[in-house]
Homo-oligomer: A and B are copies of this chain.
């Protein structure tokens, strides 16, 4: 099985690559090659038993080598994230829409309809803090990132119907705890309020403690991505998008879990209201029924405390090293 990861240098791309290197298989089939693609050459995962190629380039001008002939699965994770797409409309449109067209066009040239696993987002919905969204909720985005993702979902579903690709879109919850540094996603603080205190650093909370949010862990996100890459799509019909079974939590609950893992750590979280950030994230619905994804075999989520523990186990040491702490 030949696999490409577009956005292979990003947080989730690296985790998927590491998991493939560790497992050596995907959905029971042996991985025979992995191509990583990003703006800068992505790092290769340790311990791979198959050849790994790393390529730098522009998604919109996608090099053929990024998706070589014989590719079975493409993880299309490359994106301009929420606050960045809000700040630069042209950049968001270019990467999030034209980039997806470029992936489709490469698959059309291959004529083999590879599986494309695409990451959309909870940010493609809008709903107030008291809403629980059923499957089949209409996407009415409150930000450009979400609008571009929802539009790309439609284009990928149509490309699947036409036989250009075999797409599965996961509308990921806010993925926490992200390793590394704060980024330009409006949701960055949801990770920072756990990560930074565990690094011994102060961090700012731009919303109220009772703010509710739909989240998943990186471990669960990777599991879902791998399932989406190997599942049977024949029962999906025209609709290629899935709301995976995340969990609904609150800032307060997250900080309580933080303190259970590292007593007193939440004292490093400072309340500093940020209306620009709050305006974006408060349009994202905090809970989904997510029944359809369960019937499609996406795994259930672990409790919030496990989200904090997973960061400590998987990413704390590497984040400390990366940031010289």
Asked whether, in the complex, the Cβ of B138 is within 8 Å of the Cβ of A158, the reply is: no
The number of residues on chain A lying at the interface, defined by a beta carbon within 8 Å of a beta carbon of chain B, is 28
Assembly CA distance A155 to B92 (angstroms):
12
Assembly CA distance A8 to B84 (angstroms):
37
Closest to A108 in B: B89
- A284 to chain B: closest CB distance in Å? 13
- Quick one: which of B139, B144, B147 contacts A138, CB cutoff 8 A? B139
Judge if A99 is at the interface, Cβ distance under 8 Å.
Answer: no
Identical copies in the complex: 2
- Quick one: which of B138, B140, B142 contacts A137, CB cutoff 8 A? B138
Judge if A126 is at the interface, Cβ distance under 8 Å.
Answer: yes
Would you list 30 pairs from A and B whose C-beta atoms are within 8 A, ordered by A residue? A89-B162, A97-B97, A126-B238, A136-B138, A137-B138, A138-B138, A138-B139, A139-B154, A140-B157, A140-B238, A140-B239, A141-B154, A141-B158, A141-B238, A142-B238, A143-B158, A144-B158, A144-B162, A147-B154, A147-B157, A147-B158, A148-B158, A150-B151, A150-B154, A151-B151, A151-B152, A151-B154, A151-B155, A154-B154, A238-B283
